[in-house]
Structure formats: structure tokens, C-alpha cells
Amino acid sequence: MDEEDANIGLLNVIRAMSSILIKGVQVMGNGNGKEKDIYIEGNLIEEIADPGKGKRSEAEFVLQGHGKVAIPGLFNAHTHAAMTLLRGYADDMPLHDWLSDKIWPVEARLTEEDVYWGTKLACLEMIKSGTVFFNDMYWYFRGSARAVTESGLRAALSAVFIDGLDEERAKEQIRINERLYHESKGLPDRIIFVLGPHAVYTVSEKSLCWVRDFAERHDLLVHIHLSETEEEVKSCVDRYGMRPVEFLDSIGFLSPRTIAAHCVHLSSRELALLKQHGVKIVHNPASNMKLAAGRMPYEQMKQAGLYRNIALGTDGCASNNNLDMFEEMKIASLFHKVFTNPTVMPAEEAFELATVNPARMFRLNSGAIEAGKLADIVLLDLKKVELVPNHNLISNIVYAASGCCVDTVICDGRILMSDREVEGEEELKEKAREVAYRLVEDS
């Protein structure tokens, strides 16, 4: 057996472990940089104790944590995972031209197998950069679900619901989503089925009402793009005589189950409506900047009492162009400072937008390293040059670190990466590269 085979065999054993002991690791939020032992049983953190003082001193697998710090795994609250296949394919273009001339023609050629490989590539990138959960909306739900199941990550998955305001297409979309909902009951608990109406300009009022009713009946989250561009607002006013949030309010669509991505162009009345209905908001600063969509009114949202309902997302790789949530935290914080003052969105807030806030939004018992929480843990290597010196860990995480500082990723009590090694990584990248080139070769 050669070294590579041995490493793969070790990782396969790791995947099957039911108990993990992380010895002598610093724990974010535990104070003073003192080392602790973290014991994981099944998919839960059972105990955090002083080294050698815990009730559990043995486990089926032991990780050495010295020189590392344990932080909660990061959440990517809005993306289109399989668009990793289009990374760098169409950049520096006006939004309408980018969509109509480049993105939509390629997406029209996608197959379920393409989406599977694109999502697999996205899962690899997220594991390598410390993300344990993502909220996805894309074509071919089954391909995405298969990729997530195999990756070991958590995800909220929705099929893109677009009817183009066509009644027959709407009926087809409803049938598809009803079928996928029932199929999703056979998926791992790590995968949450979500309804995904694309936006008010691509989904008819009647279909939005169906989404509203189906979500309420089955207590489902609803993932929608909302007020991303000025053109979206204008078209909604032209069609319905109201701005997007006002229109959704008028049909009873808004609720605490609503996950609204972007929310860039909002009036003060719309902010009040979002607060009134407990709507969750996903900020995508890198994508909004790159596509010149505008600036989400973060300070006004905080003043309206919406802070606990805001999370961060990367959007898809065709408009970001990566899935690194460390980078997204930094961009978010700096983006708002430049328009206001240096105290806006301090590092602590940016970190909460990628951890505790989305954990609450997606109803998960995670987002912090505490006994009783889900074992979704990322170990950062404190020897990485970006983290030296360590005057303030959270400032280093937000302003200095990148995904390359991630050493180990544990999700749902399973080790997905150790010493920056992920099983099958090279083969996966080669296959995804092949799929991506084939997709665009005729465009």
C-alpha cells in the first residue's frame, strides 16, 4: 500500500468514527487562550474540559489540537453551488448582458450529472475553507442532494421555481416541488428541503401564493431573491403598483420562514415590513459589488431591529468568484465602513453573520462551540502567518485569515478534512474541470 492509499484508507476510517477527542485546543469564546479538550459523541459536543480533567479521556479517534483554535463552522446563507463550473467564465460585464448572453445559455445545457459535479466541487471548496452549511438554489435538485449527501456537509436545498408567468409551466413547477418535497424525506437529516421561488419578476402571483400555502402547511423555509436590483423594483411597481416587499406583504407571503437574499433596494416602509414579519435577510456583498447591484442598507436594518435576522452569503461563483466565507466577512465589514465610519460592522458582528445568526435562521443547534451543540467544528492553524501575532483572534479571523488557515473540518460529528486533506480531492477537481470545459465549449 503506498502513502496515498494509506491516507485515503485513514480518511475512510475517520468517516466511520462515532467518537472524537480533540486534545489541547484553544476554544473560541472560552477565554484567555487556555487549551481545552473537546469530546464529541455521535454528532454532538458532549464535553469541553481542561486537558486531562474531562469525564472522557479516550475516543475512537484523537486529534491533537495544540497550536490550533476551534471555531464554529461557517454558514454560507445564499449561493448557487453548481455555478463553480462557471467560475471566471463571464466576468466584468453588465448584469443583463452577463445573464442573457452568457449564464442562461450555458445553464440551458446543464444536466443533473453536471449539477452533481459542480456541487461536489463547491462542497470541496467549502470544506477546504471552513464552511459546514450552505443554503442553495439551483437546477436539478437531485444532483445537488446527491453531492451534499456524499460530501458530509449540511445544506438547505431548493429547486429553482420559475414559471415565467406562464400557467402551464407553473403547474409543472408545482408538481416537481411537491414530488421533491416527498422524496426529500429519504435524505439525511443534514439536508433541509426548502422552497425556492426565484424572484417576484420570474414567478407569478398565483405561484407565489401556492408557495406561501405549501410552506405554511409543511412548515418549510422559503428561499427567494428580493430587491436585488433597481430594475427589479421598477418592474414590480410597473406590474403590481407596489415595491417588491410591499407586494409580497399584500399577498401574505412574508413570514419568519422567508429567507430573502440581497435586499439591496429597500424603502423605510419595506424595512418595517421585513421586521414585522420576522423575515430573514442574506447579505451578499462581494456579488453585489461585482455586479454593481448596489449596497444593502445594513445600518438602517440594524436600526429597524433586524440585526439578528441577517446572515452572509457568497452568491454563486459566477458572480463572486469563490465560496470563501472568511473573505466574505472581511468584504462585508469593509464595504459598509467605507460609506459610513470605521465602527460599522465590527469583526464580532461580521463573525456572527456567518455563524450564530444563520444557525438560528436555519433552525440548527450550532453556531457556537458549546457542550450540547452539534459537532460542527473548524480548527484553524495558529501557525499560519496570517494569524501571527494573535492580539485579537476574532479580528484576525475577519480581517486577516482566509480559507487556507483551516486545518480540520468536522461536520455532524464526522471529520471531513484533517491536515487539509480531503478524500478524493484531486480526482474530483479533474472531473469538474472536464465537465466545465464541455459546458462552455460551444458557447
What pLDDT, on a 0 to 100 scale, did the predictor assign at position 100?
Answer: 86
Domain 3-73+367-421, CATH: 2.30.40.10
> Where in the chain do CATH 2.30.40.10 domains reside?
3-73+367-421
What is the average pLDDT value for the chain, to the nearest integer? Answer: 94
Cell reading at 105: 445559455
What pLDDT, on a 0 to 100 scale, did the predictor assign at position 16?
Answer: 46
Q: In the predicted model, is pLDDT for residue 11 greater than 60?
A: no
CA distance 271 to 266: 7
What pLDDT, on a 0 to 100 scale, did the predictor assign at position 299?
Answer: 96
> What pLDDT, in 10s, does the model give residues 141-170?
999 999 999 999 999 999 999 999 999 999
What pLDDT, on a 0 to 100 scale, did the predictor assign at position 442?
Answer: 63
CA distance 258 to 277: 9
> How far apart, in Å, do the first and last CA atoms of the chain sit?
44
User: Cell 484576525 identifies what position?
Assistant: 396
User: If pLDDT is split at 50, 70 and 90, which confidence band does 79 have?
Assistant: very high
Instruction: Quote the strand ranges of 389-439, DSSP E.
Output: 406-411, 414-417
Q: What is the dihedral of CA 423, 387, 315, 430, to 10 degrees?
A: -30
Helix (DSSP H) and strand (DSSP E) numbers for the chain: 17, 16
User: If pLDDT is split at 50, 70 and 90, which confidence band does 226 have?
Assistant: very high
Collapsing DSSP states into helix, strand and coil, what is residue 80?
coil
What pLDDT, on a 0 to 100 scale, did the predictor assign at position 56?
Answer: 85
More confidently predicted of 2 and 113:
113
CA distance 314 to 160: 18
More confidently predicted of 125 and 30:
125
What pLDDT, on a 0 to 100 scale, did the predictor assign at position 98?
Answer: 87
Q: In the predicted model, is pLDDT for residue 14 greater than 50?
A: no
User: Up-side HSE of residue 440: CA atoms within 13 Å toward CB?
Assistant: 17
> What pLDDT, in 10s, does the model give residues 398-420?
999 999 999 999 999 999 999 99
User: If pLDDT is split at 50, 70 and 90, which confidence band does 32 have?
Assistant: low
CA distance 37 to 55: 10
User: If pLDDT is split at 50, 70 and 90, which confidence band does 294 have?
Assistant: very high
Per-residue CA distances from 291 to 47, 318, 407 (Å): 45, 10, 32
User: If pLDDT is split at 50, 70 and 90, which confidence band does 443 have?
Assistant: low
- The pair phi, psi for residue 158, each rounded to 5°, is -135, 140
Find the range with the poorest average confidence among 14-18, 40-44, 136-140, 232-236.
14-18
> Where in the chain do CATH 3.20.20.140 domains reside?
74-361
Rounded average pLDDT over 196-218:
98
> What pLDDT, in 10s, does the model give residues 342-397?
999 999 999 999 999 999 999 999 999 999 999 999 999 999 999 999 999 999 99
Percent of the chain with pLDDT over 90: 90
What pLDDT, on a 0 to 100 scale, did the predictor assign at position 10?
Answer: 41
Which H or E run includes 151?
helix 141-151
Q: In the predicted model, is pLDDT for residue 15 greater than 70?
A: no
Nearest to 65 by CA among 30, 28, 41, 36: 36
User: If pLDDT is split at 50, 70 and 90, which confidence band does 31 have?
Assistant: low
Q: In the predicted model, is pLDDT for residue 193 greater than 90?
A: yes
CATH 3.20.20.140 fits 74-361, yes or no: yes
Rounded average pLDDT over 217-237:
97
CA–chain centroid gap for 14, Å, is 25
Are 310 and 340 spatial neighbours (Cβ–Cβ below 8 Å)? no
Q: What is the DSSP letter of 366?
A: -
